[in-house]
Amino acid sequence: MSAAPIPHGEPAGAGAARPTNYLNADYGVRSWLLTVDHKRIAVLYLVSITLFFLLGAAYAGAIRLELLTPRGDVFGDDTYNKMFTMHGIAMVFFFLIPSIPATLGNFLVPMMVGARDLAFPRINLLSWYLYMIGGLFALGAMVIGGVDTGWTFYTPFSTAYATTNVIPAAIGIFIAGFSSILTGLNFIVTIHTMRAPGLTWFRMPLFLWAHYATSLIMILGTPVVAVTILLVGLERMFGLGFFDPRLGGDPVLFQHLFWFYSHPAVYIMILPAQGVVSELVCAFSRKRVFGYAFICASSLLIAVLGFLVWGHHMFTTGQSVYAGMIFSFLSMFVAIPSAVKVFNWTATLYRGSIAWTAPMLYALGFIGLFTVGGLTGLFLSTLGTDVHLHDTYFVVAHFHYVMVGGAVMAYLGGLHYWWPKISGRLYPEAPAKISAALVFLGFNLTFFPQFVLGYMGMPRRYHVYVDEFQVLNVLSTAGATILGVGYILPLFYLIWSFRYGELAPPNPWGATGLEWQTPSPPPTENFVRTPVVTTDAYDYPHLELLPSPKEVPVG
Amino acid sequence: MLKSEHMVGVGTYLTIFFALMVLTAITTAVAYVDLGVLNVVIMLAIAVTKATMVVLWFMHLKFATRLTWLWAFGSVVFFAILVVITLSDYLTRAVLS
Amino acid sequence: MAEALASAHAPDVHVLHVAHQFDDAEQQWTASTLGMWVFLAQEVLFFGGIFAVYVIYRTLYPDAFAVASNHLDVALGTFNTAVLIGSSLTMALAVHASQVGHRRALVGWILMTMLLGSVFLGVKVYEYAHKWHEHLVPGPWFQWHGEYPKQVEIFYSLYFGMTGLHALHMVVGLGIMTWLVVAARAGRFGPDYHNPVEITGLYWHFVDIVWIFLFPLLYLIGRHWHP
């Protein structure tokens, strides 16, 4: 480290002098709220989405509490409807969709392409403000009485019959949608126009490919749900008839428009997670990825095919049988690129030098749980079985396996992996491993019983159920408690590490990638000189040539 | 001007403008003639022609990179997916209410 | 109007401004232009959603839509189409002026574009007011004494929804042009730097294209038909 003077305000107990980096370059609330530095914006997002995650988790806790018993004894029917609605809204629109792209993506995309910032830094800041404003509307809707339509806002209930605060919630989601669009726009332009010299498309880390594909979906899908929400709002306010059969409209048309976005939206949630997993698997098996080009192609294929399958959410709601058959058939194809990725990650692990760090535990957990989630998605895509499984807990278990067992675990893995770069500190490894184990165990205990419940016929969104379902529900709630502990621990030790963690070197993992060529934390401009790239993405030396396994820091 | 830019002459702009005016007049006039299902076809064809002229010359797409072409027309492809598949639901339902 | 700048004032002061994240002006131009095209792609899907609703209901209720469409004023619609295409021309001429560094012409053409855009919006206000008096604004005050009242109300919901969304985009465009004309007057743009003029032009042309489709789809259904 250079012998720079100790910056103002740094704790002397830190020992070494910290050079100017993006965290200490400027102080004060204004320097954060008016920043255009993509790294600071990423941290702003990190804080805000964590708050929404905690909110969504609180609603989840309420749901699991209620489901301990077969009677509706904690909440009345309408209140329970609000619990699962607001759990869904908080988690889907204000946590999962932004999560990896807005935090890790914003932080890393410019660094991975070798640039000083994203293409449009002020638009990046605007996207955070839009997220916050949208969040305030949604929060407001919750505070003034909540919404009970389900996060899916099906009509004509949401437009004509619901007596809850649909409009403020809809406004919040509408605004947050534009936050998402602007993030995607920034990534696309940055990746197309600002790659460092020598960084060809096929030398880019898979994290970038994943975020590019995600951005395609953000740009092409989000506006459709935005205009649909607008129509729902207008219909509700003026008594229009787009989606109301009494007025000549069709509720299924709402569903077509809604799911045209909301199905690709799940790929917005999973593609960045897959990008993270590719990075983790390579770094912690110290091997180049197997089948790089196939993983790139799979990411793009998922983005495109994901737009062709939305009707598989509507098999039983009145869509024509022929359309149902087409959607079912196409849905089988969208599983293929994801399967290719799972095979390729596994092949990467084979004969790799595996390091059992916390991020790697999350990545391995992802591979297993995502596979289960993905396969059960195929059961649901099969028209015949879906008639039995639709609107049961089988669906709930399926999507939690991919979104929580998949996306959230990848998010946590990525957060740990890049924590040294973001914070300049090492997180403590032992608590991190314990958290990963608790999350994995707690998750499976929470959601596996739900597959069985769904198969046995327990409907989703009901808080009253027949007595024979109670044992499985109690197991699920027990699992949720363990899962909650697993999630709370990182909150504590990551914040702790900001102050007391060991100072991180530029490349604590010995990993490849431009982001690891900068100090931890990086200076505001990322690179003193624009790097020139001359190698492929995962240019690890062949393992046979290494004298001894590289050590990774142990907390 | 930068390397990637292209200058379109004023004469070209005026030509395109007059063509657009003529097509507008035609589309309004044809609407009053009963050509059955051809009315919709002609109307859409004229609209697409007008839009294409605006995109190619006013928006300089004719001189832009292939990437720009991809973005200009790619979105229309996804719009088409939305409309065609949704319509296929309605056209294959047994009973319309 | 495309005459050379003959003013005795100081020559155009156009600062070659390259933002800190870009390596050079070329990269900045490529990025900002691509950025606008990507934004317009998003807009295609935004309008596309409501266009899709239109396609479905027109397919389901062709006669109701024809009857409802006949109550729109074709003369005003055609006039407005011509006005908006004219404003696209003037916007293209503004971009041209910025490319050759003719500041006065640039300012003039932007102002002309804004004038034509305002004329368009003025006509729309007139049309909307007229519809209000005819009780054709959807909602609790809607009245239709002919056939297919519910479907006609859906048509008018689409009419107001689609043209309203379009008009909103025009208002935003006029707002952007207000900033643009002030900056142009101050000499901010010249042959080396005129990105904002170009991308405003792209946006405005897109708004024109949306109307190119809206006009026939809303105003020209079943005009040949006399029930």
Q: For A205-257, what is the HEC assignment?
A: CHHHHHHHHHHHHHHHHHHHHHHHHHHHHHHHHHCCCCCCHHHCCCHHHHHHH
Distance from CA of residue A514 to its chain's centroid? 23
CA neighbor of A376 nearest in space, from A392, A358, A355: A392
Dihedral through CA B11, CA B13, CA B15, CA B20, nearest 10? -170
Considering only alpha carbons, which residue of chain A is nearest residue C137?
Answer: A238
- pLDDT for the residue A9: 30
Which structural domain, as residue segments, surrounds residue B27? 10-91
CATH code (residue C132): 1.20.120.80
Residue A371 scores a pLDDT above 70:
yes
- pLDDT for the residue C54: 97
Q: Nearest CA of chain C to the CA of B15: how many Å?
A: 10
Q: Average pLDDT in the A378-406 region?
A: 97
Could B75 and C41 be called an inter-chain contact, meaning their C-beta atoms sit closer than 8 Å? yes
Q: Nearest CA of chain B to the CA of A305: how many Å?
A: 11
Mean residue pLDDT of chain A comes to 93
Residue A115 scores a pLDDT above 80:
yes
Which structural domain, as residue segments, surrounds residue C147? 25-219
Tell me the C-alpha distance between C114 and C175, whole Å. 9
With beta carbons under 8 A apart, name residues in chain C contacting A231.
49-50, 53, 161
Chains that touch A (3 or more CB pairs under 8 A): B, C
Q: Determine, yes or no, domain membership for C2.
A: no
Strand segments (E) across A12-127: none
With beta carbons under 8 A apart, name residues in chain C contacting B78.
45, 48
Backbone angles phi, psi at A392, to 5 degrees: -110, 175
Per the structure, the count of domains in chain C is: 1
Residue in A120, A225, A238 nearest the CB of C138: A238
Instruction: Kindly state the percentage of chain A with pLDDT values over 70.
Output: 95
Predicted model pTM: 0.93
Q: Does B20 touch chain C (CB under 8 A)?
A: yes
- pLDDT for the residue B77: 97
pLDDT, tens digit, for every residue of A124-141?
Answer: 999 999 999 999 999 999
With beta carbons under 8 A apart, name residues in chain A contacting C56.
250, 253
Q: Nearest CA of chain C to the CA of B17: how many Å?
A: 6
Could B67 and C34 be called an inter-chain contact, meaning their C-beta atoms sit closer than 8 Å? yes
- pLDDT for the residue C13: 43
ipTM value > 0.95? no
Q: Determine, yes or no, domain membership for C14.
A: no
Residue in B8, B28, B74 nearest the CB of C78: B28
Q: Which two tokens stand for residue A7?
A: 């910056």
Residue appearing with tokens 């993509």: A38
- pLDDT for the residue A546: 54
Could you tell me the domains of chain A?
36-525 (1.20.210.10)
A13: pLDDT confidence band, cut at 50, 70 and 90?
Answer: very low
pLDDT, tens digit, for every residue of B62-71?
Answer: 999 999 999 9
Residue in B7, B28, B55 nearest the CB of C209: B55
Q: Determine, yes or no, domain membership for B40.
A: yes
Q: Which two tokens stand for residue C168?
A: 């909103």
Could C89 and B72 be called an inter-chain contact, meaning their C-beta atoms sit closer than 8 Å? no
Considering only alpha carbons, which residue of chain B is nearest residue A255?
Answer: B86
Q: Determine, yes or no, domain membership for C164.
A: yes
With beta carbons under 8 A apart, name residues in chain C contacting A530.
23
Q: Which two tokens stand for residue C62?
A: 């062709």
pLDDT, tens digit, for every residue of C90-103?
Answer: 999 999 999 999 99
Per the structure, the count of domains in chain B is: 1
- pLDDT for the residue A43: 97
Residue A160 scores a pLDDT above 50:
yes
Residues written for chain A? 555
Could C42 and A219 be called an inter-chain contact, meaning their C-beta atoms sit closer than 8 Å? yes
CA neighbor of A414 nearest in space, from A108, A136, A168: A108
Q: What is the CA radius of gyration of chain C?
A: 21
Residue in C31, C52, C61 nearest the CB of A193: C31
Residue in C31, C53, C154 nearest the CB of A189: C31
Residue C118 scores a pLDDT above 70:
yes
Residue A547 scores a pLDDT above 70:
no
Instruction: Kindly state the percentage of chain B with pLDDT values over 70.
Output: 96
pLDDT, tens digit, for every residue of A40-75?
Answer: 999 999 999 999 999 999 999 999 999 999 998 999
Output DSSP code: residue A301. H
Could C216 and B91 be called an inter-chain contact, meaning their C-beta atoms sit closer than 8 Å? no
Q: Does C92 touch chain B (CB under 8 A)?
A: yes
Residue A118 scores a pLDDT above 50:
yes
Mean residue pLDDT of chain C comes to 91
Q: Nearest CA of chain B to the CA of C56: how many Å?
A: 6
Q: Determine, yes or no, domain membership for B5.
A: no
Q: Determine, yes or no, domain membership for C167.
A: yes
- pLDDT for the residue C12: 43
- pLDDT for the residue A543: 66
* B27 HSE (CA, 13 A, CB side): 34
Q: Nearest CA of chain C to the CA of A93: how many Å?
A: 18
Cβ atoms of residues A52 and A94 within 8 Å: yes
Residue in A224, A245, A320 nearest the CB of B92: A320
Could C26 and B2 be called an inter-chain contact, meaning their C-beta atoms sit closer than 8 Å? yes
Q: Nearest CA of chain A to the CA of B94: how many Å?
A: 8
pLDDT, tens digit, for every residue of A239-257?
Answer: 998 999 999 999 999 999 9
Considering only alpha carbons, which residue of chain A is nearest residue C46?
Answer: A223
B 38-97: CB under 8 A from C: 39, 43-44, 46-47, 50-51, 54-55, 57-59, 64, 67-68, 71-72, 74-76, 78-79, 82-83, 86-87, 90-91, 96
Q: Determine, yes or no, domain membership for B2.
A: no
Could A224 and C49 be called an inter-chain contact, meaning their C-beta atoms sit closer than 8 Å? yes
Residue in C20, C45, C153 nearest the CB of A241: C153
A 109-138: CB under 8 A from C: 110, 115-121
- pLDDT for the residue A49: 98
Residue in B78, B94, B97 nearest the CB of A220: B78
DSSP states of B16-67 as a string? Answer: HHHHHHHHHHHHHHHHTS--TTHHHHHHHHHHHHHHHHIIIIIT-GGGS-HH
Residue A216 scores a pLDDT above 60:
yes
- pLDDT for the residue A316: 95
Could C39 and A185 be called an inter-chain contact, meaning their C-beta atoms sit closer than 8 Å? yes
Q: Determine, yes or no, domain membership for B14.
A: yes
